[in-house]
Structure 1
Amino acid sequence: MASSIWIQGHSRSGKTNRACQEFARWIRAGNFGLPEANDLPVGINNPDQPDDFERSIDPAIDPAPYEQGNRSSRSRLNNRINDRQLASQSVLTLSVNAKQRQKLNDRLTQIGNGQYPVTAETPLSFFRREVELYWPLLINLLGKVKNVGKIKAQFPIVLRVENEQELASEFWEEVLDQGTIAMPGVGRERLVRRMLDLFLLAANSGKSLDSFAGLGDRGIESLEGDQPPAMVWQEISKALTAWRHHCWQNGLLTYGIITDLYRYHLLPHAEYRARLAQRFRYVIADDVDEFPAIACDLCKFLLDHGAKGVFTFNPNGSARLGLGADPAYWLELEQEAETIETLEHSQSSSIAEVALAPILDLVIDPNVYPDMGGDFSNYSNLGTDFRDFRNLNDCTIAIETTSRAALLRQCADIVAEAINTAIETERVKPNEIAIIAPGLDNIAEYALREILSKKNIPFMPLNPQKPIVNNPQVRSLLTLLTLVYPNLGRLVNRDQVAEMLVVLSQVFNRSFGGGVNNNTELDNFGQENLAQDQFSQNSPAVALAAIGSTGQADRQTQPESAPTARSPITRLQSTQTTIDPVRAGILADHCFVPHPDQPRLLESKNYSQWNRLGNQVSYAYEQIRAWIEAQSSQLTPLLLLDRAIQKFFIPTNPSYDQLSTLQELIETAQYYWQIGYRLNWPEAEIITRFINLIRQGTITSNPYTPNMPDDSVIFASIYQYRMARGSHKIQFWLDLGSSLWQTSRAAFMYGAPLFRHDWDGQPWTIQREQEIDQRRLHDALQDLLHRTTDRLVFCYSELGTNGQLQVGSLSGLIDLATPIDQSVYAPPELETNAQNDQ
């Protein structure tokens, strides 16, 4: 095996920096296709000048090397630079997720001044790219597999998780009805999800589906039922094999199928192996304790064929241990590494130096520290361990309440006070505070957001994922589809129509806001919407990108011959909504005609007391109704959604969150129609499935945020915070008494321990599961403690949201911290109460 460096250390110990230094050394050594050092002009990455690798070789910045020779020498130098840039892409960098990949890529780009681009990937993105790139080769290989048959030569489509769940449930419907696959107490949807997760775990571990038959009764949960456990596992293997062949034949790829194709068909292929060894001569894998075993097989292959490697490993990491990570398998590379480096000290001070030992001791044995009644004057007489106890008391704060509602209120007050209080002559900024919870819930997020927003403190969840159906604009667009396309009448009701009228009429607010000029805009809006040939044909991306110049765009689209006569409507007073919910309900009750095939809207005058609506409401309603009637059912639904967004939402200047939600809706629609066309679904069936899918709430909007806002308090779960790889001055540990700190299954797939390479083949008992929970808690606590530098705030309420007493394994920590009324962070009202008590 070629030379490799194994770098290990705890969080924030500088492992990634050390890997970047090795990359810089490769540049200085003249690798990546560089000419010999003697042939280089002075100042261009000469290895005899250690700091010169950071200098730019752009002739506009450093023209000296280009002035030393004639035109031919400059041409040869340019060719060498181009060769060097091309050769530097032989460096394969692997990161745990997309954000960490971008961060690592930016750091390497900065080191090489943009002259050494590398191939930056996550393990899954690399497998996906390779499978798509070599898909023609895979078609020939898969056609030779038994019981598969001929595969069509069509470009593959990668299924999202929600689409995978939907299609797999339909494909296995007959098998599930027969009851040959059953797990006691597990519903159908959950069973399908478990089976798909088992497929992914098997692919990540490099195990075939045939190995399922050997699991027998050694699962996490017993499979007692009508069938013996061994037979159930065998049936699961057959069902997954049939599902895999079905996806092959239709050109559909899932995460599990992608990894399975790469491991068993692409990586063993001789031609691919030869090309792979030529393409990548260097590999940098950051945080390999989070990677699956299949990524280790890839790195082993590259090292065996002469590549140089740098691997970073955190012994207390493995946040993805239940999601396919296999740190024990990666330790095999440590035994074969040429150099092993251990980083002991953090790049910046953290409270782990004083808080780690006593916290872990108390988690192991809650009776390790006796009740001292808050008197630490004689702690030195109790041994060395109690010195750590006293140090822990100095750097931690305790917030203790009876109810969780009071805890959230007090936690937000302390956050505000911490930001407004000077500590060691420096103020704490909002982005230096993180609130970490074992499990996120809407109550905590809403309460903290509302309280902090009223105090003008920005607050943001770390990885917000809200169902797009929660957005009224999305629901209105779905209702709009049912009024344009036939045979969708059963998917709409009066309440949905009323909501659509309220939301779509908001575009008229600015037109009724007063002023003569606005009246011209209003009249032109009606004319534009009634003119079919004036609809924009722009793509959804262009429509959404127009948000920054909506006002100018609207004025430019007005015809030059627009009427200028004043209208009585402009004399109306502006209101918050053009069609308010009450009048929208009246219109829906009297002007909406339900029908299973073609529901429609009638004129507002069909309401006998139409004069009670008012001119403003009647006009807006008629404009919406006329726009709907002007649409043709022959129009592509994607184009209809695009036109509706441009006409009703873009002029209202939506916020970033609203814009990202609309973008997610358009992208989901485009993606879903591709699947429908691939599977030969009728157009009406695609629309029906799409509406039902969105309304189920499985589609979430994930706005792209390459960097965290600089002025926001972060709210995250333990898993989200650990994967973000950040650090803060102050951490708030919310719900300290919750049992979710130890037993949370948010980052755990069913059967995950059975597919790790360190599994000994013995039945997975409850006792072994508890041991894993304890180890996972220890790793999480160490990771969190190394990521805070100033204070740690324990937030504990005696009662949880459900009213039950909270007695989790971390409850005892509340007694080791300084009470909040004795802390510099205490709000004025708490200080006053404390003085009154004295």
Structure 2
Amino acid sequence: MVSYSVWIIGTSRSGKTTRLVEHFCRWLQNENHTYELFYTKKQKLQASTCITKPLYLEKTEPGVLVLAANDENRRELGDKIVTATLGKYPVRAKTVLGFFQDEVILFWPLLIQSLNLKAQFPVRLRPETEQELATKLWRSQLDEETLRRAGVNEYRLVRRILDLLQLAAYSGKVCEDIAEILQKGLQENGIDLEPEFLGSLLLDWRNWCLERGLLTYGIITELYSQHLLSDRNYQQYLTQRYQAVLADNVDDYPGIARQLFDFLLDRGAVGAFSYNPDGAVRLGLGADPNYLEGLAGRCQVESLTGQPSESLADRLATPMVELVTESMVLSGLPEAVRSIQTISRAQLLRQTAEVIVNAIKSGQVEADQVAIIAPGLDAIARYTLVEILVKQNIQVESLNDQRPLISSPVIRALLTILALVYPGLGRLVDRDAVAEMLVVLSKKRETPQIRRQEAEGRRQEVENSTQNSTISTDIDPVRAGLIADYCFVPHPDRPNLLPVTTFERWDRIGYAASTAYSEILEWLEKQRSQQELRLIPSPISLLDRAIQRFLWNGSNLPYDQLAALRELLETAQHYWEIDTRLRQTPLRRVEGQGGRGTEEELLTQQRQSPLRGEPPHSAGSSALSATIAEFIQLLRRGTITANPYPLRPIGPAKKAVTLATIFQYRSSRRSHRWHFWLDAGSPLWAKGGAATLFGAPFFLQDRLGEPWTAEDEKLAEQERLRRILADLLSRVSQKVYLCHSDLAVNGQELLGPLLPLVHACVPFEPLTSAATH
């Protein structure tokens, strides 16, 4: 039987996505085949109609399942399809996990019936909330002895255990099989934790979540693969709805996606899949490229031969990979590859920034055609590069810069407001926090000049003026420190701020600062009185009031500050939604490990003060204060919360240098004319690092449960390095700078796998740069 499905294989930027879109358009026009109508539920269609007429959309559910590897790729794929079809065929592209989530929520009543769950609407847990609740549920079992045997702290151990559930679900395995897989895989790894113990924790966690209608990515995937995909009613719906599947970059898909594709193809659907042999960016995070590659046997294979146009891969990929992996001796690399070599890393960061400044100032390259890529970006490197470039009026865009919310002064100020308004939170606020809050909240209001600039449409001037206005405040740090020293009264239950006249020399504060402080004080007193009268619906309302009154105030906030505020509000909204759900659940004994006590005892422990373990003083307000305290403590621990929506600014992209880690850059699938590979001598180039979850190799289909040996790790590092080099070289068209320092930050000598490349290329001789002055 002839298969009309296609398997498109090609390297990065070889035109795979474009080819997929072409197949999509061909399906709609039905130029060559006589398939059933994708966009309707009609079961029969005359062949002559298919050939002579395009497939117009009737007002029914779409008939093509469009999937992408991540959210950014999803948006781009959707935009390309809309552009190619002139917007005639609305398509909703999804990530694989996003599709699973939508289906589980849509068919939740079916799952309630089959699993005998409580009839309540499901709520998805964000990763930070998942971590917090799992820690509380397991805390009685994760004692000091267990942590010592695991060799990691409580946070890392909880994250590792939760990742096991996610990895198992991605591979199509049920939670009950995790212990058996770990028993085989961990036997040579020397980890002194019983697989049965880890499996029992995950079973308790999964059952605890399902009883309350709480869903994590791992639970969602397990519900879909083990219950929905095997349900006859759902199978009938899936067959009727989707007559075609379009999947881009399937090398980054989890193994369970193969089961979905096989089911659709078995039911007569047609598919188009793109595969990058140098991809597998998410290998170690649940992706199973080898298993997905088996789909090629069911399709017509199209190979996009040749390297991408205007890339260095055709000339450099093979010799550079051989030089690194086989220790080949070369006389030298072409001039397109140069090295920047220094002794210390501080010198390397400065010199790299100077080379970029000189190249942009001299017109050799535009800022948006330069990318700085590193195996890992610490705060010092990020700050140094951004500081030098911004001082030279060169903008920098950090890809997916997921810094903790607490790192923003605006967020810290808003959390201080919560501690001052709600009772029982006095131990969470100190003089330094109060002083910072006064500085942030005393931002000067926008002037008529800024309003005129905005009316005239001079966006850049408005942006600069607005950014300056956020720095210009009525209360400077010195005056804020004086006010906090003399007017702040610490108290465990009711910390207070006194009038500025309490300070004997309050005349030193000045009129502007005194007026601004009095306004802040008056607003806080008003919020306290309303809180006592229960006129503030929730802490989220208080945060919104503070933002409206002191931060926004009719002005245009910078995008990064606006994103942080959205992130805070979304995180708070989610946190209180989960808290409300947990309060509605009747108390009952927790199933699973015996001897842990009742759930009532666990929740009582959860509601204790996070500072000293003291029980709440009263049932009503103290419970809310305890929840607020837990929320503040969650953020202060540096928790990385989910990105807010929208994820990127609206409008044309700004001219900015891209700063990213290897994983971030490859995931974004961008390309640039110039690359600067930072820390080229680092051993992290061959390591998975944060992009590899604990136990990931145990759940790959071709080696399910097999032990992971040192030899396996060595081969995996070599293959990972080969893919990284080939992929990055496919994304650069003119120059590659290998930036290497002899010594790392800790003073150790750097002897990474890319060091042969550094020695084989032409050293760059820096010129005198304006960045040094």
Q: How high is the TM-score relative to the length of structure 2?
A: 0.85
**TM-fit CA distance, 1:285:** 0.8
What SS does the corresponding residue of 2:725 show, helix, strand or coil? Answer: helix
Specify which of 429, 437, 455 is matched with residue 500 of structure 1: 437
Q: Partner letter of residue 369 of structure 1? A: V
Corresponding residue for residue 552 of structure 2: 650
Larger deviation, residues 289-298 vs 654-663: 654-663
Q: Partner letter of residue 315 of structure 1? A: P
Q: Partner letter of residue 644 of structure 1? A: A
Distance 1:694 1:421 in 2: 44
Corresponding residue for residue 704 of structure 1: 647
Distance 2:359 2:488 in 1: 55
Corresponding residue for residue 602 of structure 1: 498
Corresponding residue for residue 534 of structure 1: none
Given that 2:164 and 2:178 are in contact with CA atoms closer than 8 Å, whether structure 1 keeps it comes out as no
Corresponding residue for residue 454 of structure 1: 391
Corresponding residue for residue 356 of structure 1: 317
Specify which of 434, 437, 442 is matched with residue 379 of structure 2: 442
Corresponding residue for residue 520 of structure 2: 624
**C-alpha RMSD of the superposition:** 2.7
Given that 1:99 and 1:706 are in contact with CA atoms closer than 8 Å, whether structure 2 keeps it comes out as no
Distance 1:660 1:220 in 2: 46
Distance 1:118 1:349 in 2: 32
Larger deviation, residues 641-650 vs 462-471: 462-471
Distance 1:113 1:357 in 2: 40
Match status 1:295 vs 2:235: no
Distance 2:49 2:319 in 1: 59
Corresponding residue for residue 567 of structure 1: none
**TM-fit CA distance, 1:613:** 2.4
Going from structure 1 to structure 2, the CA distance change for 1:684 and 1:351 (only over 3 Å counts) comes to same
Corresponding residue for residue 335 of structure 2: 394
What SS does the corresponding residue of 2:660 show, helix, strand or coil? Answer: strand
Match status 1:192 vs 2:158: yes
Going from structure 1 to structure 2, the CA distance change for 1:438 and 1:127 (only over 3 Å counts) comes to same
Given that 2:479 and 2:509 are in contact with CA atoms closer than 8 Å, whether structure 1 keeps it comes out as yes
Corresponding residue for residue 252 of structure 1: 214
Distance 1:173 1:622 in 2: 45
Corresponding residue for residue 727 of structure 1: 671
1:393-452 deviation per Cα after TM superposition (whole angstroms, max 9, x unaligned): 232112111111221122112212323446xxxx42111111111111122221111222
Going from structure 1 to structure 2, the CA distance change for 1:33 and 1:163 (only over 3 Å counts) comes to closer
Specify which of 90, 95, 107 is matched with residue 68 of structure 2: 95
Corresponding residue for residue 9 of structure 1: 10
Question: In the TM superposition, what are the counterparts of 1:332-351 in structure 2 within 5 Å?
Answer: 332-337=294-299, 339-351=300-312
Corresponding residue for residue 271 of structure 2: 309
What SS does the corresponding residue of 2:694 show, helix, strand or coil? Answer: coil
Distance 2:188 2:503 in 1: 61
1:587-639 deviation per Cα after TM superposition (whole angstroms, max 9, x unaligned): 22222222111111122222233333233322222221111111122212111
Match status 1:640 vs 2:542: yes
Given that 2:398 and 2:658 are in contact with CA atoms closer than 8 Å, whether structure 1 keeps it comes out as yes
Question: In the TM superposition, what are the counterparts of 1:191-210 in structure 2 within 5 Å?
Answer: 191-210=157-176
Distance 1:656 1:233 in 2: 46
Given that 2:39 and 2:57 are in contact with CA atoms closer than 8 Å, whether structure 1 keeps it comes out as no
**TM-fit CA distance, 1:184:** 3.4
**TM-fit CA distance, 1:489:** 1.1
Q: Partner letter of residue 353 of structure 1? A: D
Given that 2:432 and 2:484 are in contact with CA atoms closer than 8 Å, whether structure 1 keeps it comes out as yes
**TM-fit CA distance, 1:347:** 4.1
Corresponding residue for residue 218 of structure 1: 185
Larger deviation, residues 90-99 vs 465-474: 465-474
Distance 2:232 2:329 in 1: 62
Given that 1:180 and 1:235 are in contact with CA atoms closer than 8 Å, whether structure 2 keeps it comes out as no
Given that 1:8 and 1:312 are in contact with CA atoms closer than 8 Å, whether structure 2 keeps it comes out as yes
Corresponding residue for residue 113 of structure 1: 86
Q: Partner letter of residue 793 of structure 1? A: Y
Specify which of 153, 170, 176 is matched with residue 136 of structure 2: 170
Distance 1:209 1:742 in 2: 31
What SS does the corresponding residue of 1:175 show, helix, strand or coil? Answer: coil
Given that 1:507 and 1:648 are in contact with CA atoms closer than 8 Å, whether structure 2 keeps it comes out as no
Distance 2:25 2:548 in 1: 49
Given that 1:181 and 1:235 are in contact with CA atoms closer than 8 Å, whether structure 2 keeps it comes out as no
Match status 1:611 vs 2:507: yes
**TM-fit CA distance, 1:38:** 6.7
Question: In the TM superposition, what are the counterparts of 1:480-499 in structure 2 within 5 Å?
Answer: 480-499=417-436
Distance 2:769 2:661 in 1: 30
Larger deviation, residues 16-25 vs 269-278: 16-25
Q: Partner letter of residue 624 of structure 1? A: I
Larger deviation, residues 190-199 vs 757-766: 757-766
Distance 1:221 1:593 in 2: 58
Corresponding residue for residue 369 of structure 1: 329
Corresponding residue for residue 692 of structure 1: 633
Match status 1:746 vs 2:690: yes
Larger deviation, residues 479-488 vs 758-767: 758-767
Distance 2:434 2:291 in 1: 57
Gaps of 5+ in 2: 32-36, 450-461, 466-470, 584-606, 608-622
Given that 2:675 and 2:737 are in contact with CA atoms closer than 8 Å, whether structure 1 keeps it comes out as yes
Match status 1:239 vs 2:201: yes
**TM-fit CA distance, 1:828:** 5.2
- Structure with bigger gyration radius: 1
Corresponding residue for residue 28 of structure 1: 29
Gaps of 5+ in 1: 48-52, 54-79, 144-150, 373-388, 514-547, 552-574, 831-838
Specify which of 714, 724, 737 is matched with residue 780 of structure 1: 724
Larger deviation, residues 765-774 vs 257-266: 765-774
Corresponding residue for residue 827 of structure 1: 767
Distance 2:571 2:705 in 1: 42
Match status 1:814 vs 2:717: no
Distance 2:56 2:151 in 1: 64
What SS does the corresponding residue of 1:667 show, helix, strand or coil? Answer: helix
Given that 2:39 and 2:63 are in contact with CA atoms closer than 8 Å, whether structure 1 keeps it comes out as no
Specify which of 405, 409, 413 is matched with residue 472 of structure 1: 409
1:550-577 deviation per Cα after TM superposition (whole angstroms, max 9, x unaligned): x9xxxxxxxxxxxxxxxxxxxxxxx943
Corresponding residue for residue 518 of structure 1: none
Corresponding residue for residue 516 of structure 1: none
Given that 1:362 and 1:369 are in contact with CA atoms closer than 8 Å, whether structure 2 keeps it comes out as yes
Distance 2:760 2:143 in 1: 55
Larger deviation, residues 235-244 vs 195-204: 235-244
Going from structure 1 to structure 2, the CA distance change for 1:224 and 1:127 (only over 3 Å counts) comes to closer
What SS does the corresponding residue of 2:334 show, helix, strand or coil? Answer: helix
Corresponding residue for residue 764 of structure 1: 708
Distance 1:295 1:394 in 2: 44
Distance 1:624 1:24 in 2: 60
Distance 2:154 2:699 in 1: 23
Corresponding residue for residue 799 of structure 1: 743
**TM-fit CA distance, 1:39:** 6.8
Going from structure 1 to structure 2, the CA distance change for 1:579 and 1:141 (only over 3 Å counts) comes to same
Question: In the TM superposition, what are the counterparts of 1:8-157 in structure 2 within 5 Å?
Answer: 8-29=9-30, 31-32=37-38, 46=52, 81-83=56-58, 86=60, 89-143=62-116, 151-157=117-123
Distance 1:178 1:26 in 2: 60
What SS does the corresponding residue of 1:730 show, helix, strand or coil? Answer: strand
Distance 2:28 2:270 in 1: 13
Given that 1:139 and 1:153 are in contact with CA atoms closer than 8 Å, whether structure 2 keeps it comes out as yes
Q: Partner letter of residue 668 of structure 1? A: T
Larger deviation, residues 607-616 vs 158-167: 607-616
